[in-house]
Amino acid sequence: MAPETETYCARCGTSLAPGAYFCLRCGTSVPVAPRGASATGAPPVRRPLPAQHNAQLDALRKATLGEYEVLAELGRGGMATVYLAHDLALDRKVAIKVLAPALLLMGEGMVERFKREARTAAALSHPHIIPIYAVKESEHVLYFVMKYVQGRALDTVIRDVGTLPIPMVQTILAQVGDALGYAHRHGVIHRDIKSANIMLDEDGRAVVTDFGIAKVVQAEGLTMTGVTVGTPTYMSPEQCATRDVTGASDQYSLGVVAYEMLTGRLPFLGESTMAVMYAHFNERPRPVAELRPDCPPNLSAGVMRMLEKDPARRWPSMDDIVAVCGRPAGKGSRAPLAQHGRYRRRVRPAVAAARRSRPRRDDHAGEGGCRFGVDG
């Protein structure tokens, strides 16, 4: 019997779900040849599926038998793999995040961190924070079930589109700011805000994902003193220095995301992690107004204040950021994002293709969708 194979995007190398019409990471279309004709363009690369991934998938299917039908893999990282599944009882698509098998062997600390992510997110009920439905554990697999968000990660949209329109930036900033303000009021600091952890769904809503390294202010026993956690290009100076962080650290990271949306580039770059951290401590980013002349003064000044080195010099709260940077008028806060031309041209076609490739119950074919946080 031939070994099971997996298809990979010819452009970026990301694994493709069976039957997918496009790459979930870079948006590259997968050639589909009509009957009797050959496909045009570069064909996707096919590689043998690693044995450990088959074993994990088999263990998950066994653990979820009768509750969920596991359909396809959505994303994989160092800490977890995310699968698309069908909730049999409620007849809906869900995403299942599974802790990597190797990490299960690292002891209770890693398992507790994974469970804490689920508990932290599940305790937060907000329209712009991804909901958690259940946390489950069996002998060989630990996983939680969350809402399936069909759309694109913000980092892939920026990579494909470049600088985003001002109304789009204001809408995303307002929605993510609302979500983080809510989390902060409930004693939760995300600590890994970045464009890859912000999903844009098919209706143009921004949703914050991946609370894997979130800090619950009142929690004790899981603090990692002297260990740097987060993504270096988005981390605040105090986070780089492994000092205690507050909501001001999330504000700084969101400022990096806002800068990225407005200018198409990150404010701090370097050839190494240490070089990036040095820039966070010592360098001032080039003003937004210089790189984006059409940016309203209140928005450019608001973002630059979010990037202040000293937490005390940033905005007092997320609510202040939303008030200063502006929330576009329209039918709901999502209207400018969902209706903007470049959004419709870049994101909506991908979602439409995903719907055309919707899996049948009997073939475990994947449907296009989101990229969830899988590293934290």
Instruction: Name the band, by pLDDT with cuts 50, 70 and 90, for residue 354.
Output: very low
CB 166 within 8 A of CB 341: no
Catalytically annotated residues: 192
Q: What is the pLDDT of residues 177-199, one digit of tens each?
A: 999 999 999 888 888 899 989 99
Domain of 231 in residue numbering reads as 152-339
Within-domain flag for 372: no
Based on the domain organization, do 239 and 283 belong to the same domain?
A: yes
Based on the domain organization, do 70 and 138 belong to the same domain?
A: yes
Based on the domain organization, do 160 and 29 belong to the same domain?
A: no
Based on the domain organization, do 301 and 350 belong to the same domain?
A: no
Query: Hunting for tokens 């719907």 — which residue is that?
Result: 355
Based on the domain organization, do 197 and 330 belong to the same domain?
A: yes
CB 355 within 8 A of CB 196: no
* Whole-angstrom distance, CA of residue 304 vs CA of residue 8: 39
Based on the domain organization, do 137 and 284 belong to the same domain?
A: no
Candidates 113, 239, 124; CA nearest to 181 is 124
Based on the domain organization, do 49 and 181 belong to the same domain?
A: no
What CATH number did the domain enclosing 103 receive?
Answer: 3.30.200.20
The residue length of the chain stands at 376
Based on the domain organization, do 77 and 180 belong to the same domain?
A: no
Q: List, edge to edge, every strand of the sheet that includes 5-8.
A: 15-16, 5-8, 45-48
Within-domain flag for 183: yes
pLDDT at 315: 96
Instruction: Give CA 304 to chain center in angstroms.
Output: 24
Query: What is the percent of the chain with per-residue pLDDT over 70, rounded to a whole number?
Result: 66
Based on the domain organization, do 31 and 142 belong to the same domain?
A: yes
Based on the domain organization, do 142 and 262 belong to the same domain?
A: no
Based on the domain organization, do 73 and 170 belong to the same domain?
A: no
Which of the pair, 157 or 100, is modelled with greater confidence? 157
Q: Which DSSP category does 130 fall into?
A: -
Angle of the 154-161 helix axis to the 247-263 helix axis, nearest 10: 20
Instruction: Give CA 218 to chain center in angstroms.
Output: 26
pTM for the complete prediction? 0.72
What CATH number did the domain enclosing 251 receive?
Answer: 1.10.510.10
Q: What is the pLDDT of residues 166-178, one digit of tens each?
A: 999 999 999 999 9
Within-domain flag for 369: no
Based on the domain organization, do 124 and 225 belong to the same domain?
A: no
pLDDT for residue 30 is more than 90: no
* Whole-angstrom distance, CA of residue 232 vs CA of residue 375: 14
